[in-house]
Amino acid sequence: MSHTVITTTTTTTRTYGESGPNMGYTRTIPGLLKIGQMLALLVAFLCVRCARGWPSWAAFQYFEVVSLWFLVALLIFFLMHLFRLQASMPCINWPLTEFFHYSVGSVLILIASIIGAVKSGGVSALVVASVFGFIATFLMAVSLWSTYSVTCGVHQTGMSNNFHILV
């Protein structure tokens, strides 16, 4: 009895031809939305931070904390996309994480902007901060809608929806 042994060798190589940042991401819709959100939140934060004579200290402290927190979170997400770091952490569902970030961020920044607009007391820097807060809220809502369609939308599968009863 003769046996034939067939040996198959598979070689996997990783090419890192595109080292460095993925600058193409900055020209995509999600990249532009993140840049717009970061700029709006940065302007809002700086306007509140540089304003003199806050009519309501607690309201604008809340505005500062919310705008700075989501600015830092957006910067982290932006850098993760820019340097393609999601692939190195596959245990995290990144689209779902961004969806959660945008849903919470949209609500909290909207609340901070409404409170800021109501309590601004005619201080122009605080009015500008609340306007940029509303702009950031709108941009985050657009991102929320786009990540919802990716995360929770209908996904096409190769399987047919027809069920056959086998007798």
With cut-offs at 50, 70 and 90, classify the pLDDT of residue 71.
Answer: very high
Whether the CB-CB separation of 41 and 67 falls below 8 Å is answered with yes
Decide: 129 and 66 in contact? Cβ < 8 Å: no
pLDDT (tens digit per residue) in 47-69? 999 988 778 888 889 999 999 99
The residue whose two tokens read 């190589």 is 13
Output the pLDDT for position 110: 96
**DSSP run (H or E) holding 62:** helix 57-82
Please report whether residue 30 resides in a domain.
no
Q: Is residue 50 part of a domain?
A: yes
Residue 6, domain member (yes or no): no
| Nearest C-alpha neighbor of 16 from the set 76, 75, 111, 84 | 84
Residue 128 has pLDDT above 80, yes or no: yes
Rounded CA-CA distance 149/143 in Å is 10
Identify whether 27 is part of a domain.
Answer: no
Q: How does residue 72 score in pLDDT terms, banded at 50, 70 and 90?
A: very high
Rounded CA-CA distance 77/99 in Å is 12
Tally of domains within the chain: 1
pLDDT in tens, 101-118: 999 999 999 999 999 999
pLDDT tier, 21 (very low <50, low <70, confident <90, very high otherwise): confident
Q: Does some domain include residue 69? A: yes
DSSP state of 52: S
In a domain? residue 13: no
DSSP strands (E only) in the chain: none
Residues of the domain holding 101: 36-151
Taking the model in full, what pTM does it have?
0.76
Distance in angstroms (rounded) separating the CA atoms of residues 37 and 138: 9
